[in-house]
A and B are shown apart, each in its own frame.
Chain A
Amino acid sequence: MTGLGLPRRIIKETQRLLAEPVPGITARPDDANARYFHVVVAGPSESPYEGGTFNLELFLPEEYPMSAPKVRFMTKIYHPNIDKLGRICLDILKDKWSPALQIRTVLLSIQALLSAPNPDDPLANDVAEQWKSNEAKAIEFARQWTRQYAMNNQTPQPSF
């Protein structure tokens, strides 16, 4: 994919993401499609996801930045705000989107969501239930899934 017809905003964001990456996050545009990013987020320390590396895909729709990027977890994750298809429940990706936000700020928010799951606004209902009824057990599940799916996984992921 060439950069032809790519808005200057996307070019500038991409350049800055590559030059000054966010700690714990890498985002690399696809060779064939400059609107598609391969993202790897490291599980934040002191969270049940610590030690894991989570693959995400991020796509900038035609209307970007007037509408939000589309982001999805490719790596399975046990989290009340992320469902089994990898969809993320995050307000800035929906009605709280603003064009002043960037790929960088979206990824930082996702990183923060891993540190602070919010079972009161769930997407994965079963996980949220578990989180509310027995948080210790839920965290143990999350650690288990991290070991199972998010470690030694930096080969191309099969999609599910």
Chain B
Amino acid sequence: MPKSKDRPSDDIDSHQPASPQHGPGDRASSASNYQGIKYGELVVLGYNGHLPQGNKGRRRSKYVLYKRPQANGVKPFRKHIVKNPHSSKAIQDSSQHSVTYTLSRNQAVIVEYKQDPDTDMFQIGRSSEDPIDFVVMDTIPGHMRTDSDTISQSTISRFACRILVDRNPPYTARIFAAGFDSGKNIFLGEKAVKWYKGEEIDGLTTNGVFIMQPQGGFNASSKTGVWREISVGGAVYALRESRSTPHKSNQVLDEDNILHDGTLIDLCGATLLWRSALGLITSPSEHEFEHLIEELNAGRPQCPVGLMTLVLPKKGTLGINDKQPFVYLKCGHVHGQHQWGQTKGGGDERTCPLCLSVGPFVKLKMGCELSLYVDNEHPTHCFSPCGHMASEHTCRYWAQVPVPHGCQGFHAICPFCATPLDADPGYMKLIFQDHTD
């Protein structure tokens, strides 16, 4: 993690007003639709259209990257070795971007960055300080959420990563570990993983920035890819032995840090999906999606017990209780709410009236964050155990994607609520009693 995390930030903040390329005023216009050019979207996995407490300002479940009125990207320019980095000009100059690699107590390499008129920069992290465009907090899985969630300890870096997008077509986006702080500095402390060989200087952040490129793009036939780590300089590495092992793995020379439609970005605590503007064309629009749901509802699915017509909700769950669909997760039979088949122990297990198989009975919820869909098909399947509905291929794709959790493991999660999925297959086909009339 950048040393900046532990450093009081006001020691360099007070020197000069921020440069116009990346000042506070910049944000309002970057969030608006400059020249109508949208680069793409970053969607935090685990939310179904908004944060539990709502989307507010830079804290939201999805961030849209628009072309900025003025370029604010930076690129490496020159480097030099200093004895005391904190007194060096590049660091004290708060209009100058720099990355400091601390080699020992009295030696550091400072890489100075200069403005790049051809790229726009977007920064992501836990900090609500000004340089962060998209403030991301640790995601609590859906099944563990309560009304008063507070994160006591976060594993997400305050200045976790930065994305640079070419301002010209095809608007290539590249990701780099670590973000510049309010003083426009990135510090890699003595303990951070870094290497300085010949001309090359680079490093990794404490918990690292991982990416995963799906094989075959982001569509109905895509398959999960291999997770890689991205360095501060944007090079690709195999994952370390564990998340914060202080040794880098081998560089993967035939891969790059370019974000493709469907690339996942893991910040150790939150996982983001990159959807390119072009890729999003294949996702259903709100209107198309409502139409897909209307087509399912036109079959007048019926509860086999109450014989009432069920209604699939367009957003989340339905307010009207006796039309709300539920599913038996063992068999996929869809029912309305009813009191029958509760097992003696009083647990979640219930007996399906249609096939007598015993399993959990859960409320169906519509997966309505459409950027998570790999195709434009009817939401005929649901994730298990949470009951979020999506198209078959969307469920199948996410059920096979291992998403990092904590510092060691990976597991497949529901992209709408981050609940870990049940073992294979983690999703199921919904069986409606419809077209009965």
A residues adjacent to B (C-beta < 8 A) = 8-9, 12-13, 65-66, 96, 98-101
Contacts and interface: CB of A to CB of B under 8 A. Distances in A.
A100 B353 contact: yes
A8 B308 contact: yes
B307 A8 contact: yes
Contacts of B351: 98
Interface in B341-379: 341, 351-354, 356
A99 B351 CA distance: 11
A3 B305 CA distance: 19
Contacts of B352: 100
Which of B307, B339, B353 counts the most chain A CB atoms within 10 A?
A: B307
Nearest to A7: B306
A9 B307 CA distance: 6
Contacts of B338: 99
Contacts of A12: 307
A99 B308 contact: no
B305 A65 contact: yes
Majority secondary structure of chain A interface residues (helix, strand, loop or mixed): loop
B308 A66 contact: no
A12 B338 CA distance: 17
B304 interface: yes
A5 to B, nearest CB: 16
B305 to A, nearest CB: 4
Contacts of A13: 307
Contacts, number: 30
B340 A66 contact: yes
27 contacts: A8-B306, A8-B307, A8-B308, A9-B305, A9-B306, A9-B307, A9-B308, A12-B307, A13-B307, A65-B305, A66-B339, A66-B340, A96-B356, A98-B340, A98-B341, A98-B351, A98-B354, A98-B356, A99-B305, A99-B338, A99-B340, A99-B353, A100-B304, A100-B305, A100-B352, A100-B353, A100-B354
A101 B341 CA distance: 14
A98 B356 CA distance: 8
Closest 3 CB pairs of A and B: A100-B353, A100-B304, A98-B353
Contacts of A66: 339-340
Given A9-B308, A98-B351, A99-B304, 5 more contacts: A9-B305, A9-B307, A66-B339, A98-B341, A98-B356
Contacts of A9: 305-308
Nearest to B354: A100
Interface in B312-362: 338-341, 351-354, 356
B403 to A, nearest CB: 37
Majority secondary structure of chain B interface residues (helix, strand, loop or mixed): loop
A8 to B, nearest CB: 7
A35 B305 CA distance: 17
A94 to B, nearest CB: 14
A16 to B, nearest CB: 9
Nearest to A9: B307
Nearest to B302: A12
A65 B340 CA distance: 9
A100 B340 CA distance: 10
A98 B306 CA distance: 12
B44 to A, nearest CB: 40
A98 B352 CA distance: 8
Contacts of B306: 8-9
Contacts of A99: 304-305, 338, 340, 353
Nearest to B306: A9
Which of A9, A13, A98, A101 counts the most chain B CB atoms within 10 A?
A: A98
A67 to B, nearest CB: 9
B385 to A, nearest CB: 23
Interface string B213-239: 000000000000000000000000000
A100 to B, nearest CB: 4
A108 to B, nearest CB: 16
B78 to A, nearest CB: 75
B220 to A, nearest CB: 33
B215 to A, nearest CB: 42
Which of B338, B340, B341, B354 counts the most chain A CB atoms within 10 A?
A: B340
Contacts of B307: 8-9, 12-13
Contacts of A8: 306-308
Interface string B285-325: 00000000000000000001111100000000000000000
Nearest to A12: B307
A12 B305 CA distance: 12
A9 B341 CA distance: 18
A118 to B, nearest CB: 20
Which of A13, A66, A99, A101 counts the most chain B CB atoms within 10 A?
A: A99
Nearest to A98: B353
B276 to A, nearest CB: 47
Contacts of B304: 99-100
A65 B339 CA distance: 10
Contacts of B353: 98-101
Contacts of A96: 356
Contacts of B354: 98, 100
A115 B144 CA distance: 55
A19 B397 CA distance: 46
Contacts of B305: 9, 65, 99-100
Which of B304, B308, B352 counts the most chain A CB atoms within 10 A?
A: B304
A91 B112 CA distance: 82
